[in-house]
Amino acid sequence: MSNWERFVETFFNAKVMAKYLPDIAYGMLITVELAALVIISGLAAGLALALLRSLGLRPVNLLIVFVVDLFRALPPLVIIVFIYFGLPSVDLSPSGFVSTWLSLTLVLMAFSEEIFWAGITSIAKGQWEAARSTGLTYGQTLMNVVLPQALRLTIPPLTNRTIAITKGTALGTVVAVSEILGMASSAVSNSYNPSPLTLGALAYLILFFPMVVFGRWLETRMAWKR
Amino acid sequence: MQLVVEARGLHKHFGALHVLKGVDLLLAERELVFVIGPSGSGKSTLLRCLNRLEEPSSGTVRVDGVDLLDPRTDINHARQRIGMVFQSFNLYPHMTALGNVTLALRKVAGKSRGEADELGRAALARVGLADRAGHTPGQLSGGQQQRVAIARAIALEPRVMLFDEPTSALDPELVGSVLGVMLNLRESGMAMVVVSHEMGFARNAADRVLFMDEGVIVEQGTPAAIFEAPAHERTRAFVGKIQRH
Contact B159, B77 (CB under 8 A): no
| Chain A, nearest residue to B49 by Cα | A133
Low-confidence ranges of chain A (pLDDT < 50): 225-226
Strands, E assignment, B103-206:
160-164, 191-195
Phi, psi for residue B138 in degrees, rounded to 5: -65, -20
DSSP per-residue string spanning B38-55 = -TTSSHHHHHHHTTTSS-
Measure A225 CA to nearest chain B CA, in Å.
5
Q: Is the pLDDT of residue B245 over 70?
A: no
Q: Which of A134, A140, A144 sits opposite B152 (nearest CB)?
A: A134
Q: Which of B79, B94, B137 sits opposite A134 (nearest CB)?
A: B79
The pLDDT, as a whole number, for residue A226 is 42
Burial of B67 (0-12, 13-18, 19+ CB in 10 A): middle
| Chain B, nearest residue to A145 by Cα | B92
| Chain B, nearest residue to A153 by Cα | B94
List of chain B residues whose C-beta atoms are within 8 Å of the C-beta of residue A225: 136, 138-139
Residue B143 confidence class, pLDDT cut points 50, 70, 90: very high
Measure A71 CA to nearest chain B CA, in Å.
33
Best probe of the A interface among B64, B76, B154, by most A CBs < 10 A, is B76
Q: Say what percent of chain B tops pLDDT 70.
A: 99
| Chain B, nearest residue to A133 by Cα | B79
Task: Read off the pTM.
Answer: 0.85
Contact B90 A132 (CB under 8 A): no
List of chain B residues whose C-beta atoms are within 8 Å of the C-beta of residue A130: 84, 86, 90-92, 149, 152
Average pLDDT over residues B71-93: 95
Best probe of the A interface among B47, B50, B103, by most A CBs < 10 A, is B103
Question: How far apart are alpha carbons A105 and A86 in whole angstroms?
Answer: 18
In degrees, to the nearest 5, what angle opens at C-alpha B173 toward C-alphas B167 and B177? 60
How far does Cα B149 stand from its chain's mean position?
Answer: 11
The pLDDT, as a whole number, for residue A225 is 44
Which amino acid appears at position A80 of this protein? I
Question: How far apart are alpha carbons B46 and B12 in whole angstroms?
Answer: 9
Measure B228 CA to nearest chain A CA, in Å.
36
The pLDDT, as a whole number, for residue B30 is 92
Measure B104 CA to nearest chain A CA, in Å.
6
Average pLDDT over residues B114-133: 95
- Which residues of A have a CB under 8 Å from any CB of B? 124, 126-127, 129-137, 140, 144-145, 148-149, 152, 224-226
Contact B153 A148 (CB under 8 A): no
Measure B147 CA to nearest chain A CA, in Å.
14
Measure A219 CA to nearest chain B CA, in Å.
15
Residue B17 confidence class, pLDDT cut points 50, 70, 90: very high
The pLDDT, as a whole number, for residue B244 is 67
The pLDDT, as a whole number, for residue A1 is 74
List of chain A residues whose C-beta atoms are within 8 Å of the C-beta of residue B93: 149, 224, 226
Contact A149 B92 (CB under 8 A): yes
The pLDDT, as a whole number, for residue B93 is 95
Q: Is the pLDDT of residue B209 over 60?
A: yes
Contact B104 A137 (CB under 8 A): no
Q: What are the residues whose beta carbons fall under 8 Å from the beta carbon of A33, sequence distance 6 or more?
A: none
The pLDDT, as a whole number, for residue A223 is 64
Q: Is the ipTM of this complex over 0.85?
A: yes
How far does Cα B72 stand from its chain's mean position?
Answer: 25
Contact B104 A135 (CB under 8 A): yes
- Which residues of B have a CB under 8 Å from any CB of A? 51, 53, 76-80, 82-84, 86, 88, 90-94, 103-104, 107-109, 136-139, 149, 152-153, 156
The conformation of residue B20, written as its DSSP 8-state character, comes to: E
Please state, rounded to an integer, the average pLDDT across all residues of chain B: 93
Phi, psi for residue A116 in degrees, rounded to 5: -60, -45
The pLDDT, as a whole number, for residue A87 is 84
The pLDDT, as a whole number, for residue B1 is 63
Q: Say what percent of chain B tops pLDDT 90.
A: 90
